[in-house]
Amino acid sequence: MNRLFVLLFVLFFNAFIVINCNFDKPFGSPPPPASTWIALSDSIETLLMDGEMRKIRTVEGWERQRRVIRQRWEEILGIGPEIIPSPHADTLEIVQEANYTRFRLRFLTEASSKAEAYLLVPDGRGPFPGVVCFHSTSDNTIDQPAGLADQEDKHFGKYLAENGFVALMPRNFIFDYRTEEPVGDEEIKEIQKEYPEILKRNRFIENTIRLLRRYPGWTGLGKMVWDGSRCIDFLQSLSVVQKEKIGVIGHSLGGKEAFFQAAFDSRVKAAVSIEGGIGLTFTNWFDPWYIRNQRSRMPGMESHQVLSFIAPGPFLLIAGEGSDGDRSYAFLHHAESVYRLYQESEHLAWFNHKQGHKVTMEGVKLAVEWLERFLK
């Protein structure tokens, strides 16, 4: 996208995100002071060392080691359905907006289980790149990234559609999963034994119980990755989408999803994670709807390993000193050694707006620019 074309996009602040595609300078923020992250960096295992403690110096050597590490993580995520459903979707509503068409859909994620989503398709001739947009922990769920609820800085699906991306916004299973199946008090009491801090039933717990009742060897985070892959299946089934140009983005809950989706689905060609809390000790990764209480099975395992699975794919971490901050750079520092093996260090970037657990319009602009850079 050249500068003349970019200038044509300049409208009102809340109508379009202005993209300045100057890639001659380093992207995002420079590394923070080492004092903010070096202690954490020193406490986690080096990536480029094989099982016999020999230095890994080649891509081939790393890819052998990556398979070993990834298998451990796949065992933690667990095993879900065996059958991948058809990507066919039912259309519930169609609304024409100023620059795109919004479809409300429902599609299969498992046999007899459907997820609701918004699909935003830009006006004009396609095909376009596709992006899966994961919402925050909000009762507004998919209305949020579609621009129908919550703060403007969380409307990134809408902004992407206005900038020439097909955007798909699925509802996370913790808000809606097989709700026709009742959850008994005894089931609530059983999960409270493992998680005594859970004092009452809520929809997250009930939907997690429904999931683990059907797939006891799975995890909620594994389910989220599975559902994200079904979203990519659906996008790739559409003639209006460029099938080899798929990205992901998300904030908070959605930031966790975008991070793991990019790590475990090679079809993701660019990713943005916003304030997901990348470190396992940063936020609630061990809640029952994420990894579950599996700390004892994970000696030496940390999120820099998951980040290394993405290499050499483009990954942007946006922090705000809420769930992610300067300390998060420790994980990028470790992963950078892997990106350097592929000679793609510029594919790993970060930005800290230091305004708390938010997205911010500056962050949205940067995220759209990142996805423009690698998907267009």
Q: Tens digit of pLDDT for each residue in 253-282?
A: 999 999 999 999 999 999 999 999 999 999
Residue-averaged pLDDT of the chain: 92
Is residue 21's pLDDT more than 70? no
How does 311-335 read in b/e, with b if 16+ C-beta sit within 10 Å?
bbbbbbbbbbbbbbbbbbbbbbbbb
Q: Which amino acid is at 135?
A: H
The answer to pTM > 0.95 is: no
Q: What is the pLDDT of residues 62-95, one digit of tens each?
A: 999 999 999 999 999 999 999 999 999 999 999 9
Backbone angles phi, psi at 102, to 5 degrees: -105, 125
Is residue 15 pLDDT above 70, yes or no?
no
Q: What is the DSSP letter of 83?
A: S
Distance CA 43, CA 51 (A): 18
> What's the rounded Cα separation, in Å, for the pair 34 and 138?
34
Quote the pLDDT of residue 248.
Answer: 98
pLDDT attached to residue 10: 32
Report d(CA 180, CA 98) in Å as an integer.
37
199 — pLDDT class (breaks 50, 70, 90): confident
Q: Which domain holds residue 70?
A: 3-375
Q: What is the pLDDT of residue 361?
A: 96
Provide the domain count of the chain. Answer: 1
pLDDT category at 51 given cuts 50, 70, 90 is confident
Tell me what pLDDT residue 3 has.
38
> What is the percent of the chain with per-residue pLDDT over 70, rounded to a whole number?
93
**pLDDT of 315-330, one tens digit each?**
999 999 999 999 999 9
pLDDT tier at 25 (50, 70, 90 boundaries)? low
Q: Is 221 left (phi over 0), alpha (psi -120 to 50) or beta?
A: alpha
* DSSP for 236-265, written as a single string: HT-TTEEEEEEEEEEETHHHHHHHHHHHH-
User: What pLDDT is attached to residue 200?
Assistant: 80
Give the pLDDT band of residue 4 (cuts 50, 70, 90): very low
The secondary element (H helix, E strand) that includes residue 114 is: strand 113-122
Q: What is the mean pLDDT of residues 192-221?
A: 92
Between CA 1 and CA 30 the distance in angstroms is: 25
Give me the CATH number covering residue 281. Answer: 3.40.50.1820
Question: To 5 degrees, how large is the angle CA 201–CA 206–CA 207?
Answer: 150
d(CA 204, CA 94): 29
Percent of the chain residues past pLDDT 90, beyond the cut = 89
CA distance 244 to 368: 18
Report the Cα 24 to chain-centroid distance in Å. Answer: 27
